[in-house]
Chain A
Amino acid sequence: ETGVTQTPRHLVMGMTNKKSLKCEQHLGHNAMYWYKQSAKKPLELMFVYSLEERVENNSVPSRFSPECPNSSHLFLHLHTLQPEDSALYLCASSQDLSFTYGYTFGSGTRLTVV
């Protein structure tokens, strides 16, 4: 365990479903991130949160909706997804936005949209 926990590990959902991905860290970090990892592209930064405030929305479609209720938890709410959204979704955290000694990643949620 890295200290960043993601649930569920695997998720299959239909295009009309609504689901949520959860990320939790107890490292005392103040910044959290969502990345998408697919076969066609390198790790893509989706969202950045610092002290529960979103600081970046990297041109992500509105069918992905992040939520950061506190500095330890990050959610990614999913609705009306497309098959091309199938990917591995990785959560990461860091001390803060100015502390770049790398990110700590979770193990990811493997999402399949059918």
Chain B
Amino acid sequence: GESVGLHLPTLSVQEGDNSIINCAYSNSASDYFIWYKQESGKGPQFIIDIRSNMDKRQGQRVTVLLNKTVKHLSLQIAATQPGDSAVYFCAENFSGGYNKLIFGAGTRLAVHP
């Protein structure tokens, strides 16, 4: 189940550098956001989430920032490693009757030694 994304924007970084992946979401009423990572041959995997009452959340080597004013989400990866190479998707929780996740287009992260 590799990620299909021939037309995805690509971020190329050197191993050890920090990476910042950006995402614009669509619905100002969305209250919950998730970053997913999709490696070649796998489905999307949960990385980190954030609720709309927060503007920053940190995990292990990853930080998510939320700017509700401009409907922008970012994922920061510290000391990027070759194993971080993947496609990254942001998703917003849209409560239109019931909760469902709406995904962004994705960004391909390529880590070079």
Which stretch from A42-50, A60-68, A72-80 is at the chain B interface? A42-50
Contact B4 A38 (CB under 8 A): yes
What is the CA–CA distance of A105 and B6 in the complex, to the nearest angstrom? 21
Rounded to whole Å, the gap between the CB of B21 and the closest CB of chain A is: 15
Contact B100 A48 (CB under 8 A): yes
Enumerate chain A residues within 8 angstroms of B3, measured Cβ to Cβ: 37, 88
Size range of the chain B interface in the assembly: 20 to 34
Enumerate chain B residues within 8 angstroms of A102, measured Cβ to Cβ: 34, 36, 46, 49, 91, 101
Residue of B nearest to A110 (CB): B1
- The reply on A18 being an interface residue by CB < 8 A is no
| Known A-B contacts A88-B1, A105-B43, A108-B43; A42 and B103 likewise in contact (beta carbons under 8 Å) | yes
When the two chains form the complex, which single residue of A4, A9, A45 contacts B100, counting CB atoms closer than 8 Å? A45
Size range of the chain A interface in the assembly: 35 or more
Contact A42 B106 (CB under 8 A): yes
Residue of B nearest to A50 (CB): B98
Rounded to whole Å, the gap between the CB of B57 and the closest CB of chain A is: 13
- The reply on A87 being an interface residue by CB < 8 A is yes
Residue of B nearest to A98 (CB): B99
What is the CA–CA distance of A2 and B102 in the complex, to the nearest angstrom? 21
Residue of B nearest to A4 (CB): B43
When the two chains form the complex, which single residue of B2, B49, B89 contacts A88, counting CB atoms closer than 8 Å? B2
Residue of B nearest to A108 (CB): B1
Kindly supply a per-residue 1/0 record for chain B positions 20-47, scoring 1 wherever the CB is within 8 Å of any chain A CB and 0 otherwise.
Answer: 0000000000001010100001111110
| Known A-B contacts A2-B45, A90-B43, A108-B43; A103 and B103 likewise in contact (beta carbons under 8 Å) | no
| Known A-B contacts A98-B98, A105-B44, A108-B43; A40 and B7 likewise in contact (beta carbons under 8 Å) | yes
Contact A9 B6 (CB under 8 A): no
Contact B49 A55 (CB under 8 A): no
- The reply on A100 being an interface residue by CB < 8 A is yes
- The reply on A71 being an interface residue by CB < 8 A is no
Contact B98 A106 (CB under 8 A): no
**Which 10 A-B pairs give the minimum distances between C-beta atoms?**
A108-B1, A105-B43, A43-B103, A107-B1, A97-B98, A100-B99, A39-B6, A42-B105, A102-B46, A100-B93
